[in-house]
Amino acid sequence: MRDSPSVTRARLNRHIRYEPDDPCPPLVTAGVAFQGVVLILANTVLMVTIIVRAAGEGEAYLAWAVFAALVIAGVTTALQAAHVGRVGAGHILMTGAGPHFIAISVVALTEADLATLASLIVVSSLFQFAMAAWLPFLRRIVTPIVAGTALMLIAVAVMPIAVGRLTDVPAGAPEGGGLIAAGVTLAVTTGMVLRATGVWRLWAPLGGILAGCAAALFFGLYDLRPMAEASWFDLPDIAAWPGVDLAPDARFWALLPVFVIVSVVAAIKTSSDGAVIQQASARKPRATDFRLVQGALNASGVGILLSGLAVTPPVIIYLPSSVSLINLTGVAARRVGYAIGGILFALAFLPRLTAVLLSVPSPVMGAFLLIIMGLLFVEGIRTVFQDGLDPQKGLVVGVALALGVGLESGSVFEGVLGATWSASIGNGMTIGVLATVLLTAFLELTSPRRRRLDVELDASAAAGIDAFLRGLAGRVGWNETSRERLRAAGHEALECLLQLREDPAADRAPRLILIGRPGRAVVELEFLVVFEKENIEDHLTYLSERADTPEESELSFRLLRHYASSVRHRQYHGIEIVTVKVAGSR
pLDDT 10s digits, 367-400: 877 887 787 788 778 778 876 778 888 898 899 8
Contact 348, 310 (CB under 8 A): no
Report which listed range, 66-75, 218-227, 352-361, 567-576, is most confident.
66-75
**Sheet bearing 566-572, strands edge to edge:** 451-456, 511-517, 522-529, 575-583, 566-572
pLDDT range class, residue 101, cuts 50, 70, 90: confident
Is residue 282, in this structure, part of any structural domain at all?
yes
Q: Is the pLDDT of residue 102 over 60?
A: yes
Percent of the chain predicted with pLDDT > 90: 9
* pLDDT attached to residue 81: 92
Are 174 and 105 part of one and the same domain? Answer: yes
Q: Is the pLDDT of residue 330 over 90?
A: no
527 - beta bridge partners?
A: 514, 578
Q: Which of 523, 567, 530, 525 is nearest to 456 (CA)?
A: 530
Contact 311, 364 (CB under 8 A): no
- State in Å, rounded, how far the first CA of the chain is from the last one: 24
* pLDDT attached to residue 72: 94
Are 154 and 207 part of one and the same domain? Answer: yes
Average pLDDT over residues 517-538: 72
Is residue 9, in this structure, part of any structural domain at all?
no
Are 468 and 419 part of one and the same domain? Answer: no
Q: Is the pLDDT of residue 5 over 60?
A: no
Higher local confidence (pLDDT), 214 or 319: 214
Are 438 and 487 part of one and the same domain? Answer: no
User: How many Cβ atoms are within 10 Å of 172's Cβ, its own excluded?
Assistant: 6
Please provide the average confidence, as pLDDT, over all residues in the chain. Answer: 78
Higher local confidence (pLDDT), 275 or 345: 345
The lowest-confidence range among 29-43, 147-161, 409-423, 522-536 is: 409-423
Are 228 and 345 part of one and the same domain? Answer: yes
The residue from 444, 476, 509 where one domain ends is: 444
Is residue 8, in this structure, part of any structural domain at all?
no
Query: Are β-strands 522-529 and 575-583 bridged in parallel, bridged antiparallel, or unpaired?
Result: antiparallel
Is residue 517, in this structure, part of any structural domain at all?
yes
Average pLDDT over residues 240-258: 76
User: Which range of residues forms the domain containing residue 64?
Assistant: 22-444
* pLDDT attached to residue 440: 86
Question: DSSP readout, 167-227?
Answer: T---TTS-TTHHHHHHHHHHHHHHHHHHH--THHHHTHHHHHHHHHHHHHHHTT----HHH
Are 499 and 439 part of one and the same domain? Answer: no
Are 538 and 553 part of one and the same domain? Answer: yes
Higher local confidence (pLDDT), 574 or 349: 349
Contact 549, 555 (CB under 8 A): no
Is residue 7, in this structure, part of any structural domain at all?
no
Are 159 and 81 part of one and the same domain? Answer: yes
The residue from 444, 477, 508 where one domain ends is: 444
Are 466 and 437 part of one and the same domain? Answer: no
Domain CATH for 501: 3.30.565.10
* pLDDT attached to residue 488: 87
Reduced to 3 states, what is the DSSP secondary structure of residue 570? strand
Are 274 and 246 part of one and the same domain? Answer: yes
Is residue 15, in this structure, part of any structural domain at all?
no
Is residue 465, in this structure, part of any structural domain at all?
yes
Q: Is the pLDDT of residue 557 over 60?
A: no
Q: Compute CA 121 distance to the chain's CA centroid, rounded to the nearest angstrom.
A: 20
Q: Is the pLDDT of residue 11 over 50?
A: no
* pLDDT attached to residue 305: 93
Number of structural domains (the chain) is 2
Q: Is the pLDDT of residue 230 over 90?
A: no
Are 285 and 157 part of one and the same domain? Answer: yes
pLDDT 10s digits, 497-507: 887 765 555 55
pLDDT 10s digits, 53-88: 766 777 778 888 888 999 999 999 999 998 888 898
Average pLDDT over residues 187-204: 78
Q: What is the DSSP letter of 509?
A: P
Q: Is the pLDDT of residue 1 over 50?
A: no
Report which listed range, 190-194, 214-218, 338-342, 568-572, is most confident.
338-342
Q: Is the pLDDT of residue 555 over 80?
A: no
How many whole angstroms separate alpha carbon 118 and alpha carbon 245? Answer: 7
* pLDDT attached to residue 544: 46
Average pLDDT over residues 196-216: 79
Q: Is the pLDDT of residue 39 over 80?
A: no
Q: Is the pLDDT of residue 151 over 70?
A: yes
Q: Which helix (H) or strand (E) segment is 456 a member of?
A: strand 451-456
The residue from 413, 444, 475 where one domain ends is: 444
Looking at 112-176, list the stretches that DSSP marks H as alpha helix, in order from N- to C-terminal side: 114-134, 144-165
* pLDDT attached to residue 370: 84
pLDDT range class, residue 442, cuts 50, 70, 90: confident
Are 478 and 369 part of one and the same domain? Answer: no
Average pLDDT over residues 40-57: 74
pTM: 0.67
* pLDDT attached to residue 339: 94
